């Protein structure tokens, strides 16, 4: 996404109102193309997220010889069954989920492969998957525990693995390798991390069981194809949820959002802070509870965040900082050190960008402290090629006086293509432009 230079100009003063869907769930969309490739037969996917991260997974799967018909941007037919040796390294661009899950699949194949990505992805820690996959027998070469990952075929054996961190990507990589391993693979997570892999593989007929924090999987027989509609991404909804909460006069309804309880920590925390959010479950899609979320502006009180809820809102902390700035009292976030190894160090980068708007944010090793409410002043800020930083700064701009510019905003399309359009449709004073047309 970095090749296009898009910027946003944002101003406060207009309430957000109306109804909108949000784009398809990123986690499910990565999994749909990967798992569809492993199924014996033809899978159909509607509502697929066509975004930078997921397109990288889709083109990697195509490079593995899997035919994917594209009826429109969001509607796919995946002809699964046999993977073939890719001619070139697989480029997962900025997608951490893409590279880590695909590594779990590639270690089980009878041909070699190389998994790589952008400079940003090459900085992210891969030891967390290399270590357990190597214990299973995988042969993975990597310099300093970072991508590119060079994988040589090797037989795999199931292991019992106690994950040191509650990471769905690590858990998924091991479970996927377990599909190709002798014996049973058992993964214990320290707390509940998103469970999309377990649910999807179970629906496809994999021999997988989940009891509390322990998941067991055995070598796959035939994996069944699926016909599914991907619900809206709760992590994309988060930007609208915080924006409508902090902007006076707002009243927004989001439809078709994934309400999987491993993903809804932000809503729980905001409600405890006094937010006016009503969640109505309307059904099931792709095995996930789906519903509408109505958000009306409300005054917030500070809170303390730590423990199990952290992983249930791990992608939402950048925009949560904007909510904390609006809340009265001191908000304290602990046990969120994983934020430092996302697309960017999201604690340091958000603190730095919010300071440009005049905010006072205290960084801690594993979180931050923010005393509010604080008045923000518009300034020029930067997205740092991290979609969630760019969108969080746009939300901050909606409550800052004067004008806020977000540079490097094109990266928002890694997870939320059309973010600026959706926000403008809801009434936000948010204008997207390319520098030469400014």
**Interface with ligand S3P (CB under 6 A):** 27, 97, 167-169, 172, 194, 314-315, 338
Beta-bridged to residue 328, according to DSSP, are 301
Closer CB to ligand S3P, residue 97 or residue 404? Answer: 97
**What gap in Å lies between CA 257 and CA 276, rounded to an integer?**
17
Name the minimum Å distance from CB 82 to ligand S3P: 25
- Nearer to ligand S3P by Cβ, of 165 and 299: the residue is 165
Report yes or no: 275 and 295 within 8 Å, Cβ to Cβ: yes
Residue closer to ligand S3P (CB basis): 38 or 168: 168
Considering beta carbons, is residue 138 or 174 the nearer one to ligand S3P? Answer: 174
- Least distance (Å) from ligand S3P to the CB of residue 170? 6
Q: State the DSSP string of 349-368.
A: HHHHHHHHTT---EEETTEE
Positive or negative torsion for Cα 336, 341, 344, 349: positive
Give the span between the Cα atoms of 186 and 306, in whole angstroms.
Answer: 27
Q: How far is the CB of 200 from ligand S3P (least distance, A)?
A: 11
Instruction: For residue 315, indicate whether it is catalytic.
Output: yes
Nearest CA to 391 out of 316, 326, 279 is that of 316
> Measured at the alpha carbon of residue 115, what is the angle toward residues 125 and 343, in degrees to the nearest 5?
40
How crowded is the C-beta side of 278, counted as CA atoms within 13 Å? 7
25 vs 432 by CB, closer to ligand S3P: 25
**Least separation in angstroms between CB 311 and ligand S3P:** 7
Q: For residue 165, what are the contacts with CB-CB under 8 A and spacing of at least 6?
A: 128, 190, 338
Catalytic residue among 315, 382, 408, 414: 315
Structure tokens at 4: 């296009």
Nearer to ligand S3P, 317 or 368 (CB): 317
> Of 175 and 246, which CB lies nearer to ligand S3P in the complex structure?
175
Q: How is the beta sheet containing 367-372 ordered, strand by strand?
A: 304-305, 329-333, 367-372, 362-364
Cα separation, 263 vs 288, whole angstroms: 11
Query: What is the C-alpha separation between 416 and 412, in angstroms, rounded?
Result: 6
User: Which residues, in sequence order, are bridge partners of residue 80?
Assistant: 41
Tell me if 385 sits within 8 A of 2, measured CB to CB. yes
Helix (H) or strand (E) holding 239: helix 234-246
Pairwise CA distance, residues 84 & 420, whole Å: 39
**Helices 26-38 and 52-63, axial angle in degrees (round to 10):** 10
**Residue 388 Cβ, how far from ligand S3P at the closest point, in Å?**
9
Nearest distance from C-beta of residue 35 to ligand S3P, angstroms:
12
CB 163 within 8 Å of CB 135: no
Residues 14 and 248: their CA atoms lie apart, in Å, by: 8
In the complex, minimum distance from the CB of residue 366 to ligand S3P, in angstroms, rounded to a whole number: 14
Minimum CB separation of residue 180 from ligand S3P in Å reads 19
* Distance in angstroms (rounded) separating the CA atoms of residues 377 and 356: 8
Closest to ligand S3P by CB, 193 vs 379, is 193
How many CB atoms are closer than 10 A to CB 221? 11
Catalytically annotated residues: 315
């Amino acid at each position: 996404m970095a090749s296009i230079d898009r910027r946003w100009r944002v101003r406060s003063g207009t309430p957000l109102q109306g109804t909108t869907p949000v784009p398809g769930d990123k986690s499910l969309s990565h999994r749909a193309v990967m798992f569809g490739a492993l199924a014996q037969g033809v899978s159909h996917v509607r509502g697929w997220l066509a975004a930078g991260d997921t397109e990288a997974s889709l083109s990697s799967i195509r490079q593995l010889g899997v035919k994917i018909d594209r009826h429109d941007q969001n509607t796919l037919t995946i002809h699964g069954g046999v993977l073939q040796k890719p001619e070139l390294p697989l480029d997962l661009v900025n997608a951490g989920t893409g590279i880590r899950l695909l590594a779990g699949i590639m270690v089980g194949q009878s041909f070699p492969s190389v998994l790589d990505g952008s400079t940003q992805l090459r900085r992210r820690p891969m030891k967390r998957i290399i270590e357990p996959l190597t214990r299973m027998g995988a042969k993975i070469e990597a310099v300093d525990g970072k991508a590119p990952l060079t994988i040589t075929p090797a037989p795999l054996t199931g292991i019992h693995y106690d994950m040191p961190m509650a990471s769905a990507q690590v858990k998924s990589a091991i479970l996927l390798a377990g599909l190709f391993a002798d014996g049973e693979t058992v993964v214990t997570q320290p707390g509940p991390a998103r469970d999309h892999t377990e649910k999807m593989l179970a629906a496809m007929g994999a021999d997988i069981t989940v009891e509390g924090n322990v998941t067991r999987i055995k070598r796959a027989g035939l994996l069944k194809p699926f016909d599914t509609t991907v619900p809206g991404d709760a992590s994309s909804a988060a930007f609208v949820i915080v924006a409508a909460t902090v902007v006076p006069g707002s009243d927004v309804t989001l439809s078709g959002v994934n309400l999987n309880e491993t993903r809804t920590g932000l809503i729980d925390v905001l409600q405890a802070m006094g937010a006016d959010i009503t969640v109505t479950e309307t059904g099931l899609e792709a095995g996930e509870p789906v519903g509408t979320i109505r958000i009306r502006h409300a005054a917030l009180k500070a809170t303390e965040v730590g423990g199990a809820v952290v992983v249930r809102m791990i992608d939402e902390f950048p925009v949560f900082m904007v909510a904390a700035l609006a809340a009265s009292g001191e908000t304290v976030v602990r046990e969120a050190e994983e934020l430092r190894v996302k697309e960017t160090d999201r604690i340091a980068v958000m603190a730095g960008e919010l300071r440009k708007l005049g905010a006072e944010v205290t960084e801690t090793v594993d979180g931050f402290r923010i005393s509010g409410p604080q008045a923000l002043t518009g300034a020029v800020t930067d997205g740092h090629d991290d979609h969630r930083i760019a969108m969080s700064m746009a939300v901050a701009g909606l409550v800052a006086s004067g004008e806020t510019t977000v540079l490097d905003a094109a990266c928002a399309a890694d997870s939320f293509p059309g973010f600026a359009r959706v926000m403008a449709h809801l009434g936000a004073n948010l204008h997207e432009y390319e520098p030469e047309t400014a």
